[in-house]
Structure 1
Amino acid sequence: MSTFRVRPYTRTGGRTRSNTTLAIETIVTTNERAAQDALTSTAEHRIISDLCRHPHSVAEVAALLRLPLGVVRVLLADMSDLSLINVHADGEGDEDGRPSISLMERVLAGLQRI
């Protein structure tokens, strides 16, 4: 029996960018609307909703789903636009908008735990 594999970018309709930009360290969580819209969401949205019941960074979601970061960014941005997830602004960074060293160390530690 052969297995059919879907190319990752077919999950986003071939899109590699979205209107909402999410940094890799951005924390996302599922909200109440995701549970209510479970029947109308796509399969990918349902999987991400289940995963993000606990806070995860965009990078962690990509790693846990074993999908390219670009694909996960588009999926999460779509979910944010549909108000299916909460995007938590970290607020840590310098005046140029770059993440702080402590934030990068925490992201690295989280990725190493995966």
Structure 2
Amino acid sequence: MTIRVRPYTMTGGRTRSTTSLAIETIVSTNERAGRDALTSTAEHRVISDLCRTPHSVAEVSARLRLPLGVVRVLLSDMSDLTLINIHENMETGEKGPTMALMERVLSGLRGL
């Protein structure tokens, strides 16, 4: 599904999010998103529908055909409103992602 408005209008001109979200961070819709559907923005509803199954931040960006920065701001807003769950990545070390995670990402990219 593609949202057809200028990306900066979706974020109110903001380019930074309040929550730090790596591209591999997994997000999923929680039960509150369904209850608050009438008060959510159109973008939040689209993301909520998509994230009924867990997706990475990069996948949300790619599937909605939106810039990564815009998706990070929207997901951060949704997190602040407790409309999504952010699943902490257990595979990062002091210096970044583990080799196993990077291999899975590469395998997924090859599958596209």
TM-score by length of 2: 0.90
Moved runs in structure 1, 4+ residues, more than 6 A?
A: none
Letter matched to residue 80 of structure 1: S
Structure 1, unpaired ranges of 5+: none
TM-score by length of 1: 0.89
Aligned ranges for residues 9-28 of structure 1 at < 5 Å? 9-28=8-27
Partner of 1:77: 76
- 1:51 and 2:56 aligned: no
Change (3 A) 1:9 1:109: farther
Does the 8 Å CA contact 1:31/1:85 hold for their aligned counterparts? yes
Q: Point out the more displaced range, 102-111 or 51-60.
A: 102-111
Does the 8 Å CA contact 1:26/1:89 hold for their aligned counterparts? yes
Q: In 2, distance between residues paired with 1:12 and 1:113?
A: 31
CA shift digits 1:68-92 (9 cap, x unpaired):
0000000001001110000000111
Change (3 A) 1:25 1:36: same
Q: Point out the more displaced range, 28-37 or 5-14.
A: 5-14
Q: In 1, distance between residues paired with 2:13 and 2:111?
A: 31
Structure 2, unpaired ranges of 5+: none
Partner of 1:104: 102
Letter matched to residue 105 of structure 1: E
Partner of 1:38: 37
Question: How many correspondences in the alignment?
Answer: 109
Identity of matched residues, %: 75
